[in-house]
Amino acid sequence: MKKTTMIVGFFLIVVLCFIPGHFFAAVPETVKVGIVLPLTGDQAKFGEIEKLSFEMAMEEINAAGGIKGKKLELIIEDDTGRPEVGRSVVEKLITKDKVVMVGGGYSSSVTYAVAGVCQQNRMPFLVNTGSADNITTSGWDYIFRLNPPVSEYAGAIESLLKAVIKPKTVAILHENSLFGTKGAQEFEETCKGLGYKVLLKEGYEHGGVDFKPVLIKVKYLKPDVIYMVSYIMDASLLMKQSKELKLTPKMFVGGGAGFTLPEFQQNAGVSSEKVISATLWHEVLPYPGAKDYYNKFAARHKKPTEYHGAEAYAAAYVVADVLKRAKSFNNTDIKQALSMTNMMTAFGPVKFTSYGKHKNQNRLPTYVVQWINGKSELVWPAKLATKKLVYPVDWLKVWRY
C-alpha cells in the first residue's frame, strides 16, 4: 500500500510540474553567459553603467524570443577591479555555472587576467571595454574584442591637435595601471610622430588625493597641452587641483575613461568645463539604435549614459547574435560563430579581423567630446559635432577667477 501511494505521489508531482502557474512549475531552460565587471571598489561606477546596460539589453532580447526559444541568462560577477578576483570569478562561471561563453571585462589588468583563464579553458570571451593592446596581441584564438585597443584611442585627438590646437609642447600624466601606462606610451609616440616635444611623462598611483606636487612640475614647464589617462576619481581631482594651481595650457585633454562619465562633471564641477576627451561613442552618431539606447537608459535610470554603457549594450546583442548563429552551444561552434560576426549595433559595426599583431579585433573610429555648459558634447570630427569646439579657452574666466 505504501509503495502504491509513493508511486501515485511521484506521478502527481510530475503532472503538477507541467501545470502553468503551479508552485512546482518547471523552470524554463536558459542559455547562461557569464559577465565579469567591477561592481564594488574604485571602478564601480563603470561597472554599474555597464551592468545596467547589459540587463536592459537582456530584457529586450528575451522579450523578442530569446536564443533559439530559450531565455538568455546573464550571470554577472563582481571582479572588484582586481585581477586575482577576476580569475577566481571566471573560473567559477566556467566550472560551476557552466556558462557557454563569457563577456564584460572593464579594467585592462583584470580583463587580461580573465582572458588568460578563458583561453586556457577554451572558453569564448567577448571583451567590451578592457583596452590594453596585449589582450588581442597575445595570439589567443578564443578572445574577441568589440572596442578599439588603447593604442587607437587618440586617433581623433591627433586629428584635432593637427587641425586646430597645433601645440608645440605636451605633458603626459597617467595612472600606473596597464591601461594608463599603455595609453601614455602610445600618446607619447603620437606626439613624437607629430613633432610635439614631450616635456614630461609621469605616472602616479591610482587613488591618490594630492596631485599638486606633479601638477606644480607641469605648471613650471608650461606645456601647450596636458594629456591625462585616468579613471574617474583621479580625473576629477586632477582637474580640481589644476584649477586651484591656475594651470592654463592651451588645452586639457583626457584619454577617455574617467573624463567621459557623467560623474566626472558632477565631481569636478566647474573644473570640468571646456575639458576635451577622447571617446569611443556618442548618442548622436548615425548608428541604428544609438539614440534610442541613450533615451531608454536615461528614462529608466534617470541619468545619462555614455560609451561604456553603449559598449555593454552592444556586446549583449552581439552575444545573442552569435548564439543564434552557432551550430550548437559547444565552445568551438561559438568561437566559429564569433569569428563570422558581421553586424551593426548601437555602438557601431562589429566585425572581428586580424591586423598587425591584433587577432579577433573589431575596428572602429574614435571621437572627441568637450564639456560645454555641464554637458558632454561631440565636437570632433566637425561634420558630426553637436556643438562647435570651444577654442581657445580662457581658463581663469571659465573657472570664475
User: In this predicted structure, which of 7-16, 44-53, 137-146, 373-382 has the lowest mean pLDDT?
Assistant: 7-16
Helix or strand holding residue 253 (H, E):
strand 251-254
pLDDT tens-digit readout, 170-186: 999 999 888 889 889 99
Same domain, 138 and 198: no
User: How many whole angstroms separate alpha carbon 293 and alpha carbon 315?
Assistant: 13
Q: Are residues 254 and 163 part of one domain?
A: yes
The domain that holds 187 is classified in CATH as 3.40.50.2300
Residue 9 covered by a domain: no
Q: How many distinct structural domains can be found in the chain?
A: 2
297/201 same-domain check: no
> At residue 22, does pLDDT exceed 50?
no
Together in a domain, 373 and 233: yes
State pLDDT tens for residues 264-286: 999 999 999 999 999 999 999 99
- Quick one: pLDDT band at residue 4, thresholds 50, 70, 90? low
In a domain, 275, yes or no: yes
Domain hosting residue 130, numbered range: 30-148+287-362
CA of 166: how far to CAs of 74, 196, 350, 359, 393, in Å? 47, 9, 33, 34, 14
pLDDT digits (tens, 9 = 90+) for 226-240: 999 998 889 999 999
Q: Are residues 238 and 322 in the same domain?
A: no
Say if 8 falls within a structural domain.
no
What is the rounded distance in angstroms from the CA atom of residue 371 to the CA atom of residue 243?
15
Q: 210-229 burial string, b = 16+ CB within 10 Å, else e?
A: ebeebbeebbeeebbbbbbb
User: Is 13 domain-assigned?
Assistant: no
In the 8-state DSSP scheme, what is residue 67? B
User: 130 and 37 in one domain?
Assistant: yes
Neighbours of 255 (CB within 10 A): 26
Q: In this model, does residue 27 exceed pLDDT 50?
A: no
* 210 and 182 co-located in one domain: yes
Q: With H, G, I as helix, E, B as strand and everything else as coil, classify residue 54.
A: helix
3-state secondary structure of 33: strand
Q: Which of 5-19, 62-76, 300-314 has the lowest mean pLDDT?
A: 5-19
For position 177, what pLDDT does the model report?
Answer: 85
In a domain, 59, yes or no: yes
Q: What is the DSSP string of 169-215?
A: EEEEEEESSHHHHHHHHHHHHHHHHHT-EEEEEEEE-TT-S--HHHH
Q: Which residue matches cell numbers 528614462?
A: 299
Q: What pLDDT does 119 receive?
A: 98
Note the pLDDT tens digit of each residue in 93-134. 999 999 999 999 999 999 999 999 999 999 999 999 999 999
Give the chain's mean pLDDT. 93
- Assess if residue 325 is contained within a domain: yes
Kindly state whether residues 141 and 156 are assigned to the same domain: no
Q: Is residue 3 part of a domain?
A: no
More confident residue, 23 or 328: 328
pLDDT in tens, 124-172: 999 999 999 999 999 999 999 999 999 999 899 999 999 999 999 999 9
All three cell numbers of 277, joined, read 576627451
244 Cβ neighbours under 8 A, 6+ residues apart: 212
Q: Are residues 199 and 117 in the same domain?
A: no
d(CA 239, CA 271): 6
Task: Please tell me whether residues 349 and 370 are part of one structural domain.
Answer: no
- pLDDT reading at 69 higher than 80: yes
Mark whether 215 and 335 lie in a shared domain: no
Q: Is residue 15 part of a domain?
A: no
pLDDT, tens digit, 9 for 90 and up, residues 325-381: 999 999 999 999 999 999 999 999 999 999 999 999 999 999 999 999 999 999 999
Buried b (16+ CB within 10 A) or exposed e, 316-352: bbbbbbbbeebeebebebbbebbbebeeebbbbebeb
> Is residue 132 helix, strand or coil?
coil
Going by pLDDT thresholds of 50, 70 and 90, the confidence category of residue 208 is confident
How much is the pLDDT for 188?
Answer: 95
Q: What is the pLDDT of residue 251?
A: 98
Determine the average pLDDT of the residues in 296-317. 97
Helix (H) or strand (E) holding 127: strand 125-127
| 261 and 295 co-located in one domain | no
Q: CB atoms < 10 A from the CB of 274, how many?
A: 21
Q: Return the pLDDT at 23.
A: 42
